[in-house]
Structure 1
Amino acid sequence: MSGASTGDAGAVPQREEQRISKLLRKTLLTVVVAAGTYVLTNVLDQDKNQVWQLTVSVVLGGAALIIQYLVEFEQRLEAMEASQKKRIREMRDSLASHHEQMRRAVDESFSKINDATELFSQVDRSVLRSDGVTRLARKYTQVGEHGSELVKTFAQEEIGRLASLMESLSNGSADCPGENHDWLIDLTTCAKETVYATSTSVDRDFWFSEPANRYLKAQERAIKQRGVVVRRLFLVSRPEDRTPSLEQLCERHREFGIDARIAVRALLPPPAQVTPLNDFIVFDGELSYETEPDVEVMPAKTTLKMTREHVAERINRFTVLWEATEPADPEPEPQPTVTSG
């Protein structure tokens, strides 16, 4: 048996006892008033008229009983009125709270709708393609509906990473730890005009890896399919650093259609010798992809920089080094045309 039913069963006898107790009090008070009246009239009435004494006693006793019921009725009426006022006040407060919650929920829903509408309106007005954003949003919701908890968490992390990248790109600079080969290949795929790159000893081991092979094939497609001009300078400090393996590496790049040269800093003209040597790639004269080495001379950080001044400085640095370096196979000078006299 539940505690609630036990409490209800105990409340019924209690209310019954209270009702009997009130009835006894009313009865006793009525009897006391009637008896007192009878005694008083007996003392005052010298004629000892029993009928008159009993009549007065009964009338006053009945009046006392009626007055008690009237007082109790007024108390009950006041209690009921107070209870109704309290209930009405609680209902009014509850309705006001419910109305406020509904209004807040409706406002939040409309706010989300407005935000989504404004967001997609901005996407439609943007010069960027909007179909990818729409497809991303749709597939992200489908992952949330059908994916496991691990997949959902992974999707959230990837969305957060992508959002951080977009935010960084909008600010003109983005970076990530290590060397980002995906950025490198994707940027090559997006290039339409030029790719100017330098290569130092920091990334020398990269050229013998699988991502390097994909990178070179992406450059080959850019050259053959879109007519992109790809130039690469292999930078070394001393003549003895120009090894046969480096010559072979440079020749391999030329096989992909890349205009590759080796620049020995010690043999360059004085203006080119003071030019700092580091790894960077400028795509279409608009974005510079750069790697920063750690203490072990390994790529520790990749940075994308799009500010006009920085990109212009990188183009100028590459141009100085490129113009100071002789091509591998110089084109023969055109011979003057001999005309018959």
Structure 2
Amino acid sequence: MEGASFEASVRSPLRQWAQHTSPSQYQPAHAGGPRSPRPPAQSSQHQQSQQKAAALSPLLMIHHSPRIGYAQRGLASPLAQSSSGLGTPKTPTTPLHPAINSVAALDARGISRDFAHSGQMAGGDDRWRRLGARILPLFNGDRVVGSVEENSEMVRSCLLRDADGAWPEIHSILRVGMASLVRALYRALGVPPKFEAPQAGQPPVLSVAGIVSADVGLDHLVAAVAGVWQTLYSHVLPYLDGVFLPLRLFKAAAARRKADAFGVRHAVLLHFRDTIIMPLLPSLDAAAPVCVAAKRRALEFGYALPELCPMAQAVHMLSVLAALTPADRGPLHHSARSMATALHS
């Protein structure tokens, strides 16, 4: 009877580990030699605990989850704690894989870096000014400070602190950017800049009134406006779409006004339309009769494709701006149509 009990215990899934830890107790005796000591008689409760250990041990031996590494924290496994008083061997524990340790260390460094970064950003109240100083060089055709991801993270931190006050700050940044475009327009036309106060009691700002009253050629005006539009549409807008991407996740800030619900791209185009194009629209309408001459000069200077002609860029600009208000496209649509008709004549 004792031999059958001994053979049953040896056939358990713990046999390999048991033979490795106590070979002298479980190896069979040599022929003619003394028999190895047999294990003492076991109670029925102890046999049930051994059966549970036999069922669980294969999972514990092959699983590399951090929850199994009790030995690294100075603790015994729950199975060993429950059966330690019964004289059964403890369940073996496997150390954590080196890759798991390295990933945990990287996560810890990332979390500490995020906490330090959030503390630095919360230290001052000029986060929007710093963001504007980073992205406003775009309107001058220059490079920006930092990457898209860094500036987008600054936008996210500003929104987390005050989402409702985001749009007034964004409009302030865009107004400064539009002033840079107006300055570039003055520089392209060779006209001295003119400053006007928007309202009584406010400081004067750069406006396009000096261009409207200046005596400049219509074709020259269209070429300068087309150059500014190309800078805005191909250089400024794609970058601002990426930087202000977190703004779409904050519906409370995006729904402050109906116009702002479309995003920063829509707001930039509205500022460009109201600040630059609408005051210059009568002059652009008068430029339609000279489209044919401008097209000929463009072909003479090597612009073989029609879309490279400044007049074609002006048609594209007016069409995009007219589409901002589909219900009432207004005079922008009529100007674009008249220019397109003259361009294809």
Give the TM-score category using the shorter length: under 0.3
Q: TM (normalized to structure 2)?
A: 0.24
Pick 1 or 2: higher relative contact order, CA cutoff 8 A, min separation 6. Answer: 1
Q: TM (normalized to structure 1)?
A: 0.24
Q: Which structure: larger Rg? A: 1
